[in-house]
Amino acid sequence: QVHLQESGPGLVKPSETLSLTCSVSGGSIRSYSWSWLRQPPGKRLEYVGDVYNNGKNSHNPSLESRVTILTDTTKNQFSLKLTSVTAADTAVYYCARLVLSGTFYFDYWGPGTLVTVSS
């Protein structure tokens, strides 16, 4: 069984960089693609971005170029960095495994971690 767990600071100051890590157990991250999603309070789930198994990335255009997603195969983890955060980036952030065979849905998720942007 694949398990994912998000970790990182729960509070980030405006204009700083949000950094989260997703630890994956029960399987290697090498052969799969991985994603980050988020849900702001009272709003819908939103796709943030992903890293494909070929190392390439994609991200939600609404986040412009603020998103970086990387894998660390030695630790079986992947990470999210979101720069220049504002209060609008306050959300529960989820990591997930992406099913990418002509499709684009998520078959395993972490429980999520709340990140609040506030001074």
Partner 1 sequence: EIVLTQSPGTLSLSPGERVTLSCRASQNIINSFLAWYRHKPGQAPRLLIYAASTRATGIPDRISGSGSGTDFTLTISRLEPEDFAVYYCQQYGSSPLTFGGGTKVEIK
Tell whether residue 26 is a contact of partner 1 (CB under 8 A): no
Distance in angstroms between the alpha carbons of the first and the last residue of the chain = 39
Q: Please identify, among the stretches 14-22, 23-31, 69-77, 91-99, the one whose residues bind partner 1 according to the rule CB under 8 A.
A: 91-99
CB 20 within 8 A of CB 79: yes
Least distance from C-beta 57 to partner 1, angstroms? 15
Nearest to 84, CA basis, from 68, 101, 100, 107: 68
Residue with tokens 């997603």: 69
Among 25, 26, 111, 116, binds partner 1 (CB under 8 A): 111
x/- track of binding to partner 1 for residues 43-82 (CB under 8 A): -xxxx------------xx---------------------
CB 8 within 8 A of CB 95: no
Tell whether residue 110 is a contact of partner 1 (CB under 8 A): yes
